[in-house]
Amino acid sequence: MSNRKIVVALGGNAILSSDPSAKAQKAALVETAKHLVKLIKNGDDLIITHGNGPQVGNLLLQNLAADSEKNPAFPLDSLVAMTEGSIGFWLKNALENELVKEGIDKEVASLVTQVIVDKDDAAFENLSKPIGPFYTEEEAKIESEKTGATFKEDAGRGWRKVVASPKPIGIKEIGTIRNLLHSGTIVVAAGGGGIPVFQEADGTLTGVEAVIDKDFASQTLAELVDADLFIVLTGVDYVYINYNKPNQQKLETVTVSELEDYIQQNQFAPGSMLPKVEAAMAFVNHKSDSQAVITSLENLGALIESNSGTIIVKE
């Protein structure tokens, strides 16, 4: 089946190996592009999203290291935009080069994306997303007094700044994304969960110090473009229950209600597989006869050929 609208959410391993240099990240994306082009050759229309956690963390450290009156550190919304731009460029460039090699005449557009969040989201009361370096308790106190930031103790490793992780409620550039898709363009959007913004009563937008979960931003995007398929890529070919135990079992085709039972049993790690599963379930619940897939980048060819991977269906 071709000419499906597919949103593909890239996992962090598609961009970053152990080497955080621009050269190594570009090289990783060259490999990533080879797998993504399989879907394009299959006749599918693609919207690609990506993470930026390590990259935005590194950029934050660079900003803090150079922070001075003459060269002040940038706020988090700007850092998200900068990493969305740089990764978007690398990915667009890798895809364009791969399309040339395959003789496919298609445009690729990379879009810096503003994702609308709700001022009243409980996440702004309960700051939970750690970012940036570790501090001692004393350093965290001084930093907090200086900047007004909130710091929390992180797993016995020190104190870290925490920010809100609100749920996305809309995407400002959705009209542009739909127009690009309609013209046959491959779109890279909502990188790193997008830049979080508040929409004021008069329609104006304001950037906000927060981090949006990329899986939920990708799911929102998939719903808004009315995608036929939502693919969440991660480090494994399948979702497992009893992961890394003797009775480990891979999930092939699984229903939303079965996944709800597994979540009750704490089968999926929070901050890792759980948001991917929840985002996939939310998409399938939103659109009847749609599917979501959780699998690895390397397994995309097998997914096209034989539906390999964890396929989530409504019932």
pLDDT of residue 259: 97
155 within some domain: no
Give the number of other Cβ atoms within 10 Å of residue 148's Cβ.
7
pLDDT of residue 238: 96
Lowest mean pLDDT across 37-41, 56-60, 294-298: 56-60
Residue 199 predicted with pLDDT over 60: yes
pLDDT of residue 47: 98
Catalytic, 13? Answer: yes
130 within some domain: no
Nearest to 177 by CA among 87, 231, 117, 115: 115
Catalytic, 250? Answer: no
161 within some domain: no
Catalytic, 276? Answer: yes
Lowest mean pLDDT across 16-20, 21-25, 106-110, 234-238: 16-20
User: Stretch 271-280: mean pLDDT, rounded?
Assistant: 92
Alpha carbon distance 39, 230 (integer Å): 13
15 within some domain: yes
From residue 176, how far is each of 36, 172, 179, 271 by CA, in Å?
22, 9, 5, 31
The CATH number that applies at residue 50 is 3.40.1160.10
Catalytic, 5? Answer: no
126 within some domain: no
Residue 1 predicted with pLDDT over 70: no
255 within some domain: yes
User: Stretch 233-262: mean pLDDT, rounded?
Assistant: 95
34 within some domain: yes
In total, how many domains does the chain have? Answer: 1
122 within some domain: no
Lowest mean pLDDT across 32-46, 136-150, 197-211: 136-150
Catalytic residue among 51, 161, 276, 309: 276
Sequence-ordered list of residues with C-beta below 8 angstroms from that of 258, at least 6 positions apart, any chain: none
Query: What average pLDDT is seen over the chain?
Result: 93
Catalytic, 70? Answer: no
pLDDT of residue 218: 97
Q: Which domain holds residue 65?
A: 5-113+171-195+214-313
